[in-house]
Chains A and B, each alone.
Chain A
Amino acid sequence: MPLFRKILIANRGEIAVRVARTCRVMGIPTVAVYSEADREALHTREADEAVPIGPAEAARSYLNINALVSAATKAGADAIHPGYGFLSQSGDFVDAVSAAGLTFIGPPAEAHRRMGDKQGARRLMASAGVPIVPGYDGDDQSDATLRAQAQRLGFPVMVKPSRGGGGKGMHVVGRPEDLGSALAASRREATAAFGHDALVLERFVERARHVEVQVLADGHGRMVHLFERECSIQRRHQKVIEETPSPALTPEQRARLCAAGLAAARSVSYVNAGTVEFMLDRAGEFYFLEMNTRLQVEHPVTEALTSLDIVRLQIEVAAGKPLPLGQQDVVARGHALECRLYAEDPERDDLPSPGTILHLTPPEGPGVRFDCGVAAGSEVSVHYDPLLAKVVTWGRDRAESIERMRAALDRTAVLGVVTNKARLRAILEHPAFLAGDLHTGFIEEHLGELTSRGCPPAEALAALAAALRRRRPVDGDGQAAAPASDPWTGLGPWRIAGGA
C-alpha cells in the first residue's frame, strides 16, 4: 500500500523531474503542474498527469497557492511536494495545503515562518547557543538606521532580504557611498521575489567558506544529521559547485558543526528535511547564516555520500512514519561533487542565455548522476531560474570525484544555449580548487575573466564541414515542419562556397 494515493509536485525543471522519479520508485502516482511557458517541458512528461496552473509569470502560476491547491484537489492528490524555491518555504502555502485536507511534504508552517524571518532566526539562534555573525536584525528599517548600523559593523557589509533565499537580493557593499543603491536594489529584488522588503545587515567575512548541515527529523522526536556540504564556489551568491565532505573540516570541527546544525533545527521543533547554513571563517570558526526549510538543490551530493534517498525519507516522514535510521546508521563513504549547469554565459558576465535546447547528450560513466530538467527541444525561458541540470559524481576520495566530474562534463553536450560549462571546467583545473582552498569569492578572485573559447581547431572545422555536407539541407524553409531532434532538415537554404 503506497504511503500516498497521489502526489502533486508544485515545481518545475530538474527538481520536479527528480521528485517524480522517487515517487515512481515508491509506486506513488504523480501530478505535474505547468505554466503556459512550460506546456511541453520535460517535467510534465516525467509525471503521470500534468495540469496547467496559469500564465508564464511565476507569480501567477508556480507561486499561485490557490491554483496549486485546487489542482491537487481536482486531480485527487492527497499530498504536495514543493521542491525548492517557489512556495517551498511558504508558511501560508503549508496552511492552505493543510486546510484543504492535504499533506505538505516538508516542515510545519511554524518552522518556515520562524526560520524564514532572518531577523527572528538570528535572535532565536543566539538564544539556542548557535553562533551568529555580527549584524543588524532590528525592526527599524530606515535608511538612516541601516546606514549607521553598517558603519558600526564596518565595510564591506552584506545586505540581505530578511525573507527569501537562493542569494536573491543579496549584495556585498564595499564602500559607504554604494550602500544607498544596494539597499534600494535589495528591497526591490526582495519585494519582487518574496513580497517583503525588510533587510538584515551582516558583517561580510572575507574569504569565508560556506558549509551547511543536512538534517532530517520525523514527527516522533527523532532527528539525525547527514553530515555537511561545502558550497563555497559561488557566483553572485548562487552556488555553482558543492561537495561533501568539506575539505576544510577536521573531525572535531565536523562534529561541532553538525551538533550546531541539530541544535538550530531543534530550536524550531523541526520535522522533515532541512539544511542549516553556516559561514566558516579562516580561523575555523563557524556562524549561523540561515536555515533552509526545504529540500536543497545540492541534496544529491549527500545522497551519493550516504546512499540515502532524501526525497523518499521526506515522503515517509510526511506520511507519519518514523525515520528508519538513527545517527549511527548514517554512514559517509568517499566524496561527492556537484556542478550546476546554468544557461549563463561566463564570457559575458554570466548573463542568462535563454533559447531552445537544440541538442543534449547527458554524461554517463561510473559514479555519475545527472539530474536534468531539459531535453532537446526544451525552451529555456527568461521567466525562471537558468539552472538546466546538475552533474553529480562520487569517488573513493576527492581526487577521484574530481576526475570523474571532468570526464562527465566533457561528455555532456548542451547545444542551443550558452552554458557555464567552460567555467566549471576551469574551476576543476584550478590548483587552488584541487588543493581544497575555497572561499565564496573564489570565482571572482581566480576566474573572474574567462578568456574566450575562440575558434575550434582545424580538424573540428573539417569534421563540421563534412557533417554539414553529409546532411545536405533541403532547399527552402521547412523549419516549422522539422522535428527538434533532427538538426539538419529544413533549416533553410545554404551552400558551401566553392564546393558546388
Chain B
Amino acid sequence: MKLLCPGEDEHDVEVRESAAGLIAIVDGESLAVEVSEVAPGTFVARSGERRETFHCVRKGDEIHLSWRGTAYRLEVGRSGSSLPRQALRGLEAPMPGKVIAVKASPGQTVAKGDEILVVEAMKMENAIRAPRDGTIKSIAVKLGDMVSPGVTLAELE
C-alpha cells in the first residue's frame, strides 16, 4: 500500500505474516509489530517490551492517525496509480463557505497577494488572494454563492 503524506512524500508499506507474527515493511525496512484494537479507533502496538497506544480511523482513502500526540492525515494510494494531488492554487475554495465579496473582474490585472474574493465560513472572512501576478480570465462565482472545497472560484492567466 502506498501512503501519501500531506507534503509530497510517499511511503510503501506492506504487512506480511510470519511465524513470529506480523512484519511490516516500511520503505524496504522490516519491523516486527503486533497491534490490537482496545476500543473503537484506539489501538495498542507492541514491539518487544514496548507499548504504544495510538488512534486511527479510515474514511474512504483518507487515514487519520494520532501518534504520540500528533495528528496526521494520510491518503491511501492504490497500487499502480498515484492519486491526483489536490494542489491549492489559491483560487479554489479552501473550505465550504459563502462568497461575500468579489473584488476583481475579468480582464483586470492583479498582483500577487491582491484580494480577489472573500469567502465567509464559521463567521470568519477569508480573503482569496492572487497566488501570482496575472490577469483575471474569469470569475466563476457570484456574490452570495455557497461553495465547497476545491471549487474553482476564478481563473488567472
Selected contact of A464 from candidates B9, B13, B88, B95, CB within 8 Å? B13
Q: Interface 1/0s, chain A 435-462, versus B by CB < 8 A?
A: 0000000000000000011111111111
User: Does B27 have its Cβ within 8 Å of any Cβ on chain A?
Assistant: yes
Residues of B within 8 A of A454 (CB): 5-7, 9
Task: List the A residue with the shortest CB-CB distance to B79.
Answer: A497
Q: Are A382's CB and B58's CB within 8 A?
A: no
Near A by CB (< 8 A), chain B positions 26-83 give 26-27, 29, 31, 33-37, 40-43, 45, 47, 52, 54-61, 63-74, 76, 78-79
CA distance A497 to B68 in the complex (A): 27
Residues of B within 8 A of A60 (CB): none
> Which of B16, B27, B115, B122 has most A Cβ within 10 Å?
B122
* Complex CA distance for A452 and B74, rounded to whole angstroms: 13
Query: Are B69 and A425 neighbours in the complex by a CB distance under 8 Å?
Result: yes
Q: Which residues of the partner chain A approach B29 to less than 8 Å between Cβ atoms? A: 458
A348 within 8 A of B: yes
Q: Are A464 and B65 in contact (CB under 8 A)?
A: yes
A463 and B6 contacting across the interface, CB-CB below 8 Å: no
Please judge, given known A-B contacts A236-B124, A463-B33, A467-B35, whether A415 and B71 are in contact too, CB under 8 Å.
yes
Q: Is A193 an interface residue (CB 8 A)?
A: yes
Q: Which of A168, A418, A473 contacts B71 (CB 8 A)?
A: A418
Closest A residue to B122 by CB, please name it.
Answer: A352
A421 to B72, CA, bound (A): 11
User: Which chain B residues border A418 with CB–CB below 8 Å?
Assistant: 71, 73
Q: Is the CB of B6 within 8 A of A452?
A: yes
Chain B contacts for A464, CB-based, 8 A: 3, 13, 54, 56, 63, 65, 67, 74
Which residues of chain A are near B57, meaning CB under 8 Å? Answer: 358-359, 415-416, 487
Contact (Cβ within 8 A) A382 B13: no
Q: Which of B89-126 contact A (CB under 8 A)?
A: 94-97, 100-101, 115, 118, 120-126
Q: List chain B residues, Cβ under 8 A from A411.
A: 69
Cα(A102)–Cα(B32), bound, Å: 65
Across the interface, name the chain B residue whose C-beta is closest to A470. B35
Instruction: Assess whether A354 is interfacial by the CB under 8 Å rule.
Output: yes
| Set B5, B33, B42, B120: member contacting A466, Cβ < 8 A | B33
- Picked from A413, A419, A461, A471, the residue with its CB within 8 Å of the CB of B26 is A461
Interface: A220 (CB within 8 A): no
Q: Is B24 an interface residue (CB 8 A)?
A: yes
State whether the Cβ of B133 lies closer than 8 Å to any Cβ in chain A: no
CB contacts (< 8 Å) of A485 on chain B: these are 40-41
